[in-house]
Homo-oligomer: A and B are copies of this chain.
Amino acid sequence: MMDQPLASRIGPTPLLDAAQLNADIEATARFGGTGNGGVSRLTLTPEDKAVRDWFVARASELGCSVTIDPIGNLFASYPGRNAALPAIMTGSHLDTQPGGGRYDGILGVLAGFAALRALKSSGLVTEHPLTVVNWTNEEGSRFSPAMFGSGVHAGAIALDEALAIRDQSGVSVGQALDSIGYRGSRSHTENPAAYVELHIEQGPVLEAEGIAIGAVTGVQGLRWFDVEIKGTESHAGSTPMANRRDALTAAARLILDVEAIGRAHAPGVLTVGRAGVFPNSRNVVPGRVSLQIDMRHPGKAGLEAMETALRQAVAGQTDSRIERIWAKKPVAFDPACIDAVRQAAADCGLSCRDIASGAGHDAAHLATLAPTAMIFIPSRDGLSHNEREYSSPRQCADGAEVLLRTLLKLDRRLA
């Protein structure tokens, strides 16, 4: 038996303690709880310290050793059979948006602990060590940019640069880490054997299709554009329709063009999320409109095609200009890791579909270091960054069970 890989020795019966996972969700939701079912737990605040203390205590109970790196990422290391192998890593983040939910990020960390608990209680031992991680500042609502914890870990952002970032009241990341006692001294330099992150979808696709598990194929690339359309401000009463240069009607045409471009480039998405009208007075024909556009696509070619179409649409409007102000490349996850997720879902008898992540995740940074995948579960009404964010205890437990089995499959494949 000892020579047979672990994953082949377990049947379809759930290994995971769903009730304990749910209790952990309830427990962590109290740190920064809003009273409306949501959580406000901005990174490196006293609330974040409290949940970090909970993380350390829980990790110790499970027999993990905990290390803290200089940007405050927490690594809970659980031993495997072969200490010479690099760890298989899982986790997510415990910080939230202001008025956020109790699942976004948190589920991924707690499911990591639930997986360790299942192994421990069933006496199963993996070949690789396992690491459960809590990344600092995934959300970016106190310190910008978002995801600098995993960014520093992956070398995408310099440590000194991240430590010097200040919040709106002038407090630096370094000061904030010191104030809660979570600035570690030693970087966690070993690359994991693989990284798998469980997360809520934060979108409507799985719920709409009645599917339990999303095997995340990657994180969409993103490009942000600012567009300005100029017209001529004039009196709404005394300017005949034929004499107008109305910036708002020009903007309306462009907004519909943007929607059509998005529809023509599925699975890409294209959104005008913000519009400013000047002077924005009922009886003045608008003289200027600014639009903020968000473009995402899982493939570089798709992004290029969308940007070309968008620029043509803008150029089709008289006196308009467009500027690309930010870009993030698409990230493709590891095919073998994605396949492990699909098979784990199948082993559990759960429906599963491939899905690209629309939002950014720490996993995108980890994908530069190790074979990586993510697992999504449905979000009610697609809501996230919202106190009404919800996934049922059943959905959370299903996701954690698939995470555990994915870790076991990777342990077998990579050993």
Binding site for B on A (CB under 8 A): 201-205, 208, 220, 222, 224, 232, 234-243, 246, 248-249, 251-253, 255-256, 259, 262-263, 266-267, 269-275, 277, 280-286, 292-294, 296, 357-360, 381-385
Contact = CB atoms under 8 A, between A and B. Distances in A.
Given A239-B204, A382-B239, A382-B243, A280 B273 contact: yes
Contact of A275 (B253, B280, B385): B280
Given A248-B272, A256-B249, A280-B273, A239 B203 contact: yes
Contacts of A256: 249, 252-253, 256
Given A208-B243, A240-B269, A241-B263, A235 B280 contact: no
B285 A237 contact: no
B382 A234 contact: yes
A283 B255 contact: no
Contact of A273 (B252, B271, B282): B282
Contacts of A263: 241-242
A76 to B, nearest CB: 29
A282 B277 contact: no
12 contacts: A204-B238, A204-B243, A224-B282, A235-B384, A237-B294, A238-B358, A238-B359, A241-B263, A241-B270, A248-B275, A271-B283, A275-B280
- Identify whether the interface residues of A are mostly helix, strand, loop, or mixed: mixed
A262 B241 contact: yes
A273 B283 contact: yes
Contact of A269 (B208, B236, B251, B294): B236
Contacts of A277: 274-275
A193 to B, nearest CB: 29
